Structure 1
Amino acid sequence: MKNVYDVQQILKKFGTFIYSGDRIGDLELMVMEIEDLFKMRFIENEQYLQARLILRKEKTRLYK
């Protein structure tokens, strides 16, 4: 997993499609969905941590 697209592909596997037109809002929704998938043990710890890091970096990049 290297970018936001890869995170979207993980979410897509579980039937979650996020697009509201607001990039920051989309990233926040993705974080919530990834957290839920991790809590329900649908994704491994490594995938969870990578996804969170990618989303955090993208959010930081957009705020600059």
Structure 2
Amino acid sequence: MKTFYDVQQLLKTFGIFVYVGDRIADLEIMEDELRELYSSQLLDVKDYQMAILIVRRERQLLKDKKG
């Protein structure tokens, strides 16, 4: 898993589609969903950590672009 698209595809395998219209809110929801999948032991630690890092990096890029 290397890209944001990969994270979206991972969530899709669990039937999770996130789109509320606000990109930052989407990223926060995705992070919550990843955390929930991990706490339910549906994701291994490596996939969880990589997905969280990718989502947080994407969120930071958006905040830097806006600010």
Shorter-chain TM range is over 0.9
Matched residue, 1:60: 60
Deviation at 1:10, TM superposition (A): 0.8
**How many Å separate the matches in 1 of 2:17 and 2:29?**
10
AA aligned to 1:13 is T
- Listed as ranges, the matches of 1:17-36 within 5 Å are 17-36=17-36
Larger Rg: 2
AA aligned to 1:18 is V
**How many Å separate the matches in 1 of 2:16 and 2:49?**
19
Normalising by the residue count of structure 1, what TM-score does the alignment of the two structures yield?
0.96
Which runs of 5 or more residues in structure 1 are unaligned? Answer: none
In angstroms, what is the RMSD of aligned CA positions? Answer: 0.6
The runs of 4+ residues in structure 1 deviating greater than 3 Å are none
Normalising by the residue count of structure 2, what TM-score does the alignment of the two structures yield?
0.92
Deviation at 1:21, TM superposition (A): 1.2
Which runs of 5 or more residues in structure 2 are unaligned? Answer: none
Number of paired residues? 64
CA deviations on 1:10-40 (whole Å, 9 max, x unpaired) are 1100110001111000000000000000000
